C-alpha cells in the first residue's frame, strides 16, 4: 500500500510539472529571427515589416519574429540559403539571382530585358514559383513571398548615352548575369555584395553601379556619383524563405499565418515597388544628380546591351535545359492572356 501511495504522489507531481511546462510553453511565443542584408528603408525592409505584422496579427502569441536588417546577424544575401537551411537563422529574405550556384534556374528574374514592366515581373514570378519551390523544398526550406526590385539602371560619373560610355566602365554588378552582360558589352564589371559597396565606392574601387534608383537613394549614392541613367535592365526579385524544420515545430495557427499571407504580401510588395520606381528622382536631383530617362538614351545603346545580353540568355538556356525553356514558354503565353 505504501509503495502504491508513493507512486501515486510521484505521478501527480510529474503530471503537474508537465502541465506547468506546457502552460509556460503556451504563454511564451516561439521566437524567430528574420535576416536581411538591407534595411527598413528599402523594398525588402518594408516588405518584411508588413509581412511580419500580418503573420503576427493572425498567429497571435504563437510566434514572435524579430527583423534583423542591415546584415545584423552577419549574413549577406548570398549566405542566406545555407544559413536558413542549417537553421543558423529561421527566416531570411534573399536576392534570388545570387543563388545561381545552387541552381541556375534562380537566375531567371535577372535575365536582361526579359521582364520590362512590373506586371511582367509579377507574371514571371508566378510562372516560376513552382520550380523555385521544388529547389527550396529539396534543401529543407519553405518558400514564402517575393519582393521585386525596381528596374536596374546605371549610376555613374556621366550619363550612359553612348556605347563608348560603357567601354571600360568599372561597374558594380549584383549577379553573374549582370557581370557577363556588361563584360560582353565592353565594361569592366565586378560582382560586389551590397554590404561591401560603399567601401568600394569611397576608395574608388568602382566608378559605376548597376542598381535601381531606390538602391542608390538608400546609400546616398550622390556622395560618390553624379548621374543615373534609366536602362530598365532587369527586375530581379528577393524571396522570403524559412527553415522547414522550424516551420514544422510551429503551432498550426502560426503555420497557417505564414502561408495564408503570401498573396497579400506579394500584392503589397509589388505596390510598394511600383510607387518607388521614380520617387527617388526628386531626392537625387535635390542632391545634385542628373537623371537621364530611357527616352533620352540613344537606341544604339540599348541595341548594344541587348546584343550582349542575348549570349547570356543562350548560356542560361544551356544550363537549365528543358526546365528553362518550359518556363520561358509559359511566360510568353502568360503575357498574351
pLDDT at site 9: 37
3-class DSSP assignment, residue 68: strand
Look at residue 96 and tell me if it is in a domain.
Answer: yes
Question: Does 23 fall in a domain?
Answer: no
Backbone angles phi, psi at 17, to 5 degrees: -65, -45
Which pLDDT value is given to residue 322?
97
pTM of the model: 0.84
Q: Are residues 51 and 138 in the same domain?
A: yes
For 247-273, what is each residue's pLDDT tens digit?
999 999 999 999 999 999 999 999 999
Q: Are residues 191 and 70 in the same domain?
A: no
Considering the domain architecture, whether residues 40 and 107 belong to the same structural domain is answered as yes
What's the number of CA atoms in the CB half-sphere (13 Å) around residue 332? Answer: 6
Q: CB neighbours (10 Å) of residue 308? A: 19
DSSP 219: T
- Note whether 228 and 116 are same-domain residues: no
Is 247 a member of any domain? yes
From the list 43, 47, 40, 26, the residue with the least C-alpha distance to 279 is: 43
How long a stretch of residues is the chain? 337
Confidence at 25, pLDDT banded by 50, 70, 90: very low
Tell me, yes or no, whether 207 and 96 share the same domain: no
Cell matching residue 285: 536631383
Clarify whether residues 124 and 187 are in a common domain: no
Total domain count, the chain: 2
Q: By residue range, what is the domain housing residue 109?
A: 30-150+235-275
Residues 6+ apart with CB under 8 A from 161: 229, 292, 296, 297, 298, 301
Q: What is the CATH number of the domain that holds 287?
A: 3.40.190.170
Residue 318, domain member (yes or no):
yes
**CA dist list (Å): 218 to 22, 45, 140:** 45, 11, 33
The yes-or-no verdict on residue 211 having pLDDT over 90 is yes
The answer to whether the CB of 301 falls within 8 A of the CB of 186 is no
Is 13 part of a structural domain of the chain?
Answer: no
Do 68 and 192 reside in the same domain of the chain? no
Same domain, 169 and 111: no
Amino acid at each position: 500500500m505504501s509503495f502504491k501511495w508513493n507512486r501515486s504522489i510521484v505521478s501527480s507531481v510529474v503530471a503537474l510539472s508537465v502541465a506547468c511546462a506546457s502552460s509556460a510553453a503556451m504563454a511564451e511565443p516561439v521566437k524567430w529571427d528574420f535576416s536581411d542584408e538591407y534595411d527598413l528603408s528599402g523594398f525588402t525592409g518594408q516588405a518584411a515589416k508588413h509581412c511580419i505584422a500580418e503573420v503576427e496579427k493572425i498567429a497571435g502569441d504563437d510566434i514572435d519574429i524579430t527583423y534583423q536588417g542591415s546584415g545584423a546577424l552577419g549574413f549577406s544575401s548570398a549566405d542566406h540559403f545555407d544559413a536558413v537551411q542549417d537553421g543558423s537563422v529561421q527566416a531570411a529574405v534573399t536576392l534570388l539571382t545570387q543563388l545561381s550556384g545552387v541552381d541556375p534556374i534562380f537566375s531567371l528574374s535577372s535575365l536582361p530585358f526579359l521582364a520590362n514592366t512590373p506586371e511582367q515581373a509579377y507574371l514571371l514570378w508566378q510562372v516560376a514559383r513552382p520550380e523555385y519551390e521544388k529547389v527550396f523544398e529539396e534543401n529543407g526550406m519553405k518558400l514564402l513571398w517575393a519582393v521585386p526590385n525596381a528596374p536596374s539602371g546605371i549610376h555613374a560619373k556621366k550619363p550612359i548615352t553612348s556605347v563608348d560610355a560603357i567601354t571600360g566602365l568599372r561597374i558594380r554588378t549584383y549577379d553573374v548575369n549582370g557581370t557577363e552582360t556588361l563584360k560582353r558589352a565592353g565594361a569592366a564589371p565586378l560582382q560586389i555584395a551590397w554590404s561591401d559597396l560603399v567601401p568600394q565606392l569611397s576608395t574608388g574601387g568602382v566608378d559605376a553601379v548597376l542598381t535601381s534608383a531606390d538602391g542608390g537613394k538608400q546609400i546616398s549614392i550622390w556622395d560618390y556619383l553624379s548621374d543615373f541613367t534609366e536602362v530598365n535592365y532587369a527586375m530581379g526579385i528577393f524571396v522570403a524563405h524559412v527553415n522547414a524544420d522550424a516551420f514544422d515545430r510551429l503551432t498550426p495557427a502560426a503555420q497557417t499565418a505564414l502561408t495564408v499571407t503570401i498573396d497579400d504580401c506579394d500584392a503589397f510588395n509589388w505596390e510598394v515597388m511600383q510607387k518607388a520606381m521614380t520617387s527617388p528622382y526628386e531626392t537625387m536631383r535635390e542632391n545634385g544628380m542628373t537623371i537621364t530617362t530611357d527616352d533620352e538614351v540613344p537606341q544604339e545603346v540599348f541595341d548594344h546591351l541587348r546584343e550582349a545580353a542575348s549570349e547570356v540568355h543562350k548560356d542560361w538556356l544551356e544550363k537549365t535545359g528543358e526546365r528553362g525553356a518550359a518556363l520561358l514558354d509559359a511566360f510568353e503565353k502568360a503575357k498574351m492572356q
